[in-house]
Structure 1
Amino acid sequence: MEAVLAETVRLLDESGEPALTFRALAARLGGGVGSIYWYVQSKDELLDRAADHVLESVLDDTEQFVDDPDPIDALRHIALALFTTAAQRPWLASYFMRNTAFQPNSLRFFERLGGQVLRLHLTPRQSFDATSAVIGFVVGAAADLSQEPPTEIVSGGVTREEFMDHVVEQWSALDEDEFPFLHSILDEFRVHDDGEQFRAGLDLLLDGLRRQAERAAASHD
């Protein structure tokens, strides 16, 4: 099973989900299609288990943060580890925690994040909302970042900088009274870094969580 999942992840990383077929996987493993069915019953199950296989490495990488003195710092490190992995694998976000019957590591990861939130002594609903918000932000941002670049960039017709300049030029032509926000961020949008923007958004989310925990602590005093 380990060999099947490892090769599945390699195929997905190289060619994406459309390229994953039992025939293609069996050829890479040097066996027949029937041998794959010995381990999984369907492509959906294989994808769920492949996602879970990747999460095992995220769990290993984040073990060091479990006992961080500051649970918010621990949450930041754990979230960044998941983001880094998911951003490198465009297929992963679609199958993250999709079917926990086949994904014990996804439950362990959920527990790892939630365990840090528990240290903030919030209500069960607040803890659930907070953990879900962090995971949703991380997975969503990674999925957005891992999208295929515009055709013009992929083909080499324009550089990313040239493409961004063109977008900014289009936005600049919009009516400023109708689109005041877009006009206010044109210079930032032109040069922004997606990774830095993710970290800034994560800090905003965690800062709000810290403030909520401080209010909860103050109400108990």
Structure 2
Amino acid sequence: MEAVLTAAVALLDEGGKPALTFRALATRLGTGVGSIYWYVAGKDELFDRATDHVIGEVLTAVRALPGSDDPIADLRAMAVTLFDAIMDRPWLAAYFMRNTDVQGNSLRLYEEIGRQTLRLDLTPRQRFHAASAVLGVVVGTAADLGMELPQEVLDGQVDRDQFLERFAETWRGLDAAEFPFVTAIADEFAGHDDRDQFLAALDLTLAGLRLQAGA
């Protein structure tokens, strides 16, 4: 199983979801397609187990974090660790916690994140919503940033900054009375850093949690 999952993750890293087929996996392993069914029942289970294989590494990294007397700071460190892992492997976002019957490591990571809320003065519903909100910011932002780049950027016709500047220039020329927000943030959009934008969203979420918990 370890060899199957290692090869599956390698294919996903190289070409995303389309690259992981039973035929490609069998070729990578130097075996027949039929032999893979000894380990997984089908493609859905293969994706779930490959995801959980990688999340096992994230879980190890999260458990190695030093920890502090501030549960919200610890929650932030865990969230950033997961975000960076998904940014390194954008395909993870689609499968993380999709099936916790198979994804034991994903469930354990969810538990580690949720345990931080046990250190706060919250109701069970508030704890559930807090963990869900943090994961929503992490996985949702990573999934959005991991989307395939526009073809002209992939082709090298323009770089990322040039691509964003094109839209920013259009926004600057809009009627400020009709689009007061868009015209006001056009310059910020043009040169924004994706990771900084994620951290800002995460910090806003955690600031709300801190207020709710009276921490």
The TM-score bracket by the shorter chain reads: over 0.9
Rounded to whole Å, the distance in 1 between the matches of 2:108 and 2:156 is 42
1:117 counterpart letter in structure 2: T
How far apart are the structure 2 equivalents of 1:121 and 1:4? 44
In structure 2, how many angstroms separate the alpha carbons of the residues matched to 1:35 and 1:118?
45
1:63 equivalent in structure 2: 63
Q: Deviations over 1:37-73 (max 9, x none)?
A: 0000110110011111111001100113374221111
* Preserved CA contact (<8 Å) 1:83 1:142: yes
Letter in 1 for 2:152: E
Show the counterpart of 1:204: 204
Q: 2:159 and 2:104 mapped to 1: Cα distance?
A: 42
One-letter amino acid of the counterpart of residue 161, structure 2: E
Query: What percentage of aligned pairs have identical amino acids?
Result: 59
Matched with 1:26 is: 26
Q: Which TM-score applies when normalising by structure 2?
A: 0.96
Q: 2:5 & 2:178 partners in 1: Cα distance?
A: 51
- Matched with 2:195 is 195
Q: How far 1:207 sits from its partner (Å)?
A: 1.1
* Amino acid in the other structure paired with 1:38: W
1:169 CA displacement: 1.6
1:77 aligned residue: 77
Q: CA RMSD in A?
A: 1.2
SS at match of 1:38: coil
- Stretches of structure 2 that go unaligned for 5 or more consecutive residues are none
Aligned mates of 1:179, 1:88 — CA distance in 2: 36
Give distance in 1, aligned partners of 2:82 and 2:67: 18
Report the counterpart of residue 42 of structure 1 in structure 2. 42
Runs of 4+ in 1 over 4 A off after TM superposition: none
Unpaired runs of at least 5, structure 1: none
Number of equivalenced pairs: 215
Contact 2:169–2:186 (CA<8 Å) still a contact in 1? Answer: no
